[in-house]
Amino acid sequence: MPPNGMSMQHQHHQPPPPPPAQAPVPASISKTDDLGRKYELVVVQQPQRARMCGFGDKDRRPITPPPCIKVVVRDAKTGQEINPNDIDSAHYIIQVDLWSEDGTQEVNLVRHSSNTASISTTQPYSYTALREDPMNPPPAQPYQEMQPYGSAPMGYGQQPPPPQPQQHMMPGYGMAAGSNYPQYQSTNSRFAPATQYYPQHANPGPVPSQADLAYGHRQSLSMAASQPQGMFTRNIIGSVSSSAFRLNDVDDQVGVWFIMQDLSVRTEGHFRLRFSFVNIAKPPGATNPNGSMVNQHKAPILAATFSDAFQVYSAKKFPGVCESTPLSKCFATQGIKIPIRKEGAADGKKGGDDDDEAYQ
């Protein structure tokens, strides 16, 4: 009896099984340019949580706290960090993509049906998966003829922009056809955050004509109006690209920063953000006929990294926006439009009400 009793007691008090192993942090990319400078992205302020915004854009809540990414530039030979004041960051650009929690799949797109009972049942998709899905054949128009990811919608009365020369397409460093990495297409000489980005899935086709572009836009607008079953839309919305800022941190140390304060996610779940960095300045020794200081050909992805995993909640489960961090307040005082919570705001507000926030 005692042995059996001991055995039963031992069975009742067995320790719980160990938690499942956490997925390793996805690898970062750090490359060296033609000037012998090596670039690294450091996510100093990580995203923590967000309230899902669904398929409407009227009540969109940003990810909090806003991700803040620092660019560290070093001499490739010595490893010594280069003074940010000696760096020309006027043509630095960052692009943000939404990835799965384990960092194995890009999920920029979400599939939504008008008959779906709940937004939580929607299915995220990557561009590559969409193109390779036999149940969803590619559209008749080449992808390059469709409206670029990240661009503003076009009304019926607007004329489409003139087609961009193919040499402006700037795919990432070493990216083969079919990869998940984006291509970059410049649309203006100042390269403000409105820069457009094309995902790369195949070799670029011929430059479309004005008529093709107009037809493609009309077709896209017609499809959006009819809301067919299985419609794909962007899962991450807002300002998915940004130029760099030279800012001082809380220790009054100058650095080159990207502030991503306007990112929202449509569906609930656990995700990561992937940040890709390019310098679209004219390469050393290159000459442009128009005297432009911008790269007229391909620009490599010089650095890329992932954020920590964060959670997107439904409106009912959302615990509220994060408190404004010292870093956010520091950047707000330098002119960056970051929503800062007012002093003395009530704690524990449910539903993510942002009435106690204001841009400073």
Kindly write down the DSSP assignment for every residue of 169-188, as one continuous string. Answer: EEEPTTPPTT-S-EEEE--S
Structure tokens at 128: 């590559």
User: Please, what is the Cα angle at 274 between 271 and 279, to 5 degrees?
Assistant: 165
- Omega of the bond leading into 47 within 30 degrees of 0 (cis): no
Instruction: Give the residue, 194 or 284, on which the prediction is more confident.
Output: 284
Q: Indicate if the pLDDT at residue 286 is higher than 50.
A: yes
Tell me the per-residue pLDDT of 319-351, one tens digit each, with 9 for 90 and over.
999 999 999 999 999 999 998 987 655 444 444
Domain at 254, CATH number: 2.60.40.3960
Tell me the per-residue pLDDT of 205-249, one tens digit each, with 9 for 90 and over.
444 444 444 444 444 444 444 444 568 899 999 999 999 999 999
Closest to 97 in 3D by CA, of 31, 184, 192: 184
Q: Indicate if the pLDDT at residue 3 is higher than 70.
A: no
Domain hosting residue 281, numbered range = 28-318
From CA 222, how far away is CA 214, in angstroms rounded?
Answer: 12
Segment 273-299 mean pLDDT: 88
The pLDDT value given to residue 124: 61
> Is 21 a domain residue?
no
Task: With cut-offs at 50, 70 and 90, classify the pLDDT of residue 297.
Answer: confident
> Is 177 a domain residue?
yes
> Is 122 a domain residue?
yes
> Is 350 a domain residue?
no
> Is 19 a domain residue?
no
Question: Is 65 strand, coil or helix?
Answer: coil
Task: With cut-offs at 50, 70 and 90, classify the pLDDT of residue 258.
Answer: very high
Q: How many domains does the chain have?
A: 1
Q: Indicate if the pLDDT at residue 45 is higher than 80.
A: yes
Q: Indicate if the pLDDT at residue 83 is higher than 90.
A: yes
> Is 16 a domain residue?
no
Left if phi > 0, otherwise alpha if psi is -120 to 50, otherwise beta: which for 291? left
Segment 267-271 mean pLDDT: 97
30 C-beta neighbours (distance < 10 Å), count: 16
> Is 6 a domain residue?
no
Question: Is 217 strand, coil or helix?
Answer: helix
Q: Indicate if the pLDDT at residue 174 is higher than 80.
A: no
User: At 257, which helix (H) or strand (E)?
Assistant: strand 254-259
Q: Is the dihedral of CA 350, 353, 356, 360 positive or negative?
A: positive
Task: With cut-offs at 50, 70 and 90, classify the pLDDT of residue 59.
Answer: confident
> Is 338 a domain residue?
no
